[in-house]
Amino acid sequence: MGVLHKLESFVKAGAAGDDEFRAAVLSGLARHPKTLEPKFFYDERGSQLFDAITELEEYYPTRAETAALESHAAEIAAFVGRGASLVEFGSGSSVKTRLLLENLAGLRCYVPIDISGAHLQAAAERLAADYALPVIPVHADYTGAFALPDVVPAAGRLGFFPGSTIGNFDPPAAVAFLRRARDLLGPGARFLVGADLQKDAARLVAAYDDAQGVTAAFNLNLLRRINRELAGDFDLAAFRHEARYDPELGRIEMHLVSRAAQQVTIAGHSFSFAAGESIHTENSYKYTLESFADLARQGGWRSEAQWLDPEGLFSLHGLVAD
């Protein structure tokens, strides 16, 4: 139905020996505390596990953000105006995007950007089959610089960054991301960004440590990926998933905790773990409406409107490039 453009790729295939992944894992595990970036969760299996997380009872952010998009559809459409080019960061399966594609008037094209190449391609094919507009997938890492293809009109770009994925950045990195996004989207751009709100710690921890163990499998899959792509010998059973809330920093942390003292070899390099030592794999910062608007301002955006779900769990900010 729509026109599917060829995947534009700025990311090397995640094959054995991928230089960036290798260097990041070797340096991240040599650090104290041991740390790995959450962008490495998303191999094909990681993307599938994330989709399973969005279906969990405990994982309120997807339902709440969807409810915010649905209950404020008309106001969001008025904020965006007619004829925008929709550019989505970390698009995954592009499920929430469908609400925008159905409610925004005269969209010119849809540009999903994601680090998980095969998953992105499959989602782009589904969207092009279901909607009559050009779909232009871009395989890129949005923590670095890249360009949009020339076919994306330069004027009237609308960024979309749902999923509270912006919460994975610490505040200085979030500000740097927002500035890069403003440069990429250009003057006069608008940006819809989903930011999870601060709330009761028990509810937050449950959302990142579900009873079925899907989030644990998602976290542990990173070790499986290291074993496969970097000749690692992690014993997955020797690590356990842990979600912690840090009230001072206002963030959920995900860790992989070593159950015993052990040695692990990766790409010929040996790493020691003490019993109880962890690899810090993800942060998810939680905001208030004011603290997120302030962050956006530092990133070069004015928060012109905020929309919440009926329960007030999650916020969607309508930003305008300053």
Q: Which residues bind ligand SAM (CB under 6 A)?
A: 39, 42, 47, 50, 54, 62, 90-92, 96, 114-116, 141-143, 162-163, 165
34 or 96, CB closer to ligand SAM? 96
Q: In sequence order, what are the residues at sequence separation of 6 or more whose Cβ sits closer than 8 angstroms to the Cβ of residue 311?
A: 64, 67
141 or 242, CB closer to ligand SAM? 141
24 or 289, CB closer to ligand SAM? 24
Residue type, 84: A
Q: Tokens at residue 33, please?
A: 């505390």
- Quote the least distance from Cβ 50 to ligand SAM, whole Å: 5
143 or 291, CB closer to ligand SAM? 143
Torsions phi, psi of 271, nearest 5?
-125, 135
Tokens 């773990």, residue?
A: 273
- Quote the least distance from Cβ 231 to ligand SAM, whole Å: 24
41 or 234, CB closer to ligand SAM? 41
Angle formed by the axes of helices 214-229 and 44-53, nearest 10° = 180
Q: In sequence order, what are the residues at sequence separation of 6 or more whose Cβ sits closer than 8 angstroms to the Cβ of residue 21?
A: 14, 40, 229, 230
Tokens 């360009």, residue?
A: 147
169 or 273, CB closer to ligand SAM? 169
42 or 307, CB closer to ligand SAM? 42
Strand segments (E) across the chain: 8-9, 34-35, 85-89, 109-114, 138-139, 157-161, 190-196, 239-246, 251-258, 262-266, 269-273, 278-285, 301-308, 314-321
Q: Is the peptide bond before 33 cis (omega within 30 degrees of 0)?
A: yes
Q: Tokens at residue 15, please?
A: 């094959």
